[in-house]
Amino acid sequence: MNARRALVTGVAGQDGSYLGELLLGHGYEVVGAVRPGRVEAARERLGALAESLALVEADLLDGASLRRVVATTAPDELYHLAAPTFVPASWDDPTETLQAIAGGTATLLAAALALGDRAPRIWVSSSSEIFGDAGESPQHERSPMRPRTPYGVAKLAAHGLVGAFRAQHGLFACSGITFNHESPRRPERFLPRKVTRAAAAIALGLQDELSLGSLDAVRDWSAARDVVRGALLAVEHDEPGDYVFASGVGRTVRELVETAFAHVGLDADDHLRVDPAFVRPSEATAPVGDPSRARSVLGWDPAISFQELIGEMVDADLAALRR
């Protein structure tokens, strides 16, 4: 019996690399899509994992390349993770953000549909940004969706497309509404990695203080490995559907900082400085997810606690800085 083939867009990113590892561990043949001209960079980032999967080029802004990759790989499962991921940057070029996220998703769904009876089961990564000022917290799959950024608007359009293709054409398509999820593979421009890196650097005497904005901002942080495990569970389920993946617990930035510094035996207050230039108004609705449906339908539950996650990230930063 031939191994199932999975096509993963954004395979070199945080979620893509963990999903690739998970799928390979389940005996899949994995094909990863990366941006044109970025194959060697992707191999370097993936390390030993790159030896176990095939890499192909495709661009979210080039519909022909997306259609070609789907047609030539003919996957049994398609996991669409690729997207611009840094939310503030979506204001710099909202048009391209919409084209890459909503347009790319539409093209991939249509390309899958064109395979007819061989159409793959599909997962599309959505985002908690689709809720915006939802007016209720925690948010679930039927909460009001009122995004406040071009990124959130684009993700909401992609989320809607999944439901439309599922209802109109019977595609087995799932949308995963993921809240903040982290790992040692998270780029340093994201807040949790900035915090864990600073805790490690201060512990090693390489840095004196950490400057942040509001310490009262709330986020729902989970482990990336838990989230990608949810993606596989959703695609393996008997029926397609949309699911919130989150811890269900809102934590402040201060709690994040204190957890990271405590891991290396430091008092955060001795090294923390609030910079007014970084302070932003608090959200009207706390972005906290309700994963009840994923728990009841898929049997999904986070396996990695917040403390374990942050400790793992700090340890990885300590090791990297020592090198």
| Residue ranges per structural domain of the chain | 5-181+222-245, 188-220+250-287+305-322
- pLDDT bin (cut points 50, 70, 90) of residue 86 is low
- Three-state DSSP class for residue 318: helix
pLDDT at residue 281 is higher than 80: no
The one catalytic residue in 29, 77, 129, 141 is 129
pTM over the 0.85 mark: yes
Question: Looking at residue 91, what is its pLDDT?
Answer: 79
Q: Which two tokens stand for residue 145?
A: 């969706």
The one catalytic residue in 18, 28, 79, 151 is 151
Known active-site residue 129:
yes
**Rounded mean pLDDT of the chain?**
95
Known active-site residue 211:
no
Q: Does domain 188-220+250-287+305-322 have CATH number 3.90.25.10?
A: yes
Known active-site residue 29:
no
- pLDDT bin (cut points 50, 70, 90) of residue 92 is confident
- pLDDT bin (cut points 50, 70, 90) of residue 2 is confident
Question: How far, in Å, CA of 42 to CA of 31, rounded?
Answer: 13
Four-residue CA torsion sign, 302, 307, 309, 312 = negative
Question: How far, in Å, CA of 111 to CA of 161, rounded?
Answer: 13
Class of domain 5-181+222-245: alpha beta
Contact 176, 235 (CB under 8 A): no
CA distances from 84 to 79, 92, 154, 249, 299 (A): 16, 12, 10, 26, 30
Residue 75 phi, psi (nearest 5): -75, 155
The one catalytic residue in 17, 65, 90, 127 is 127
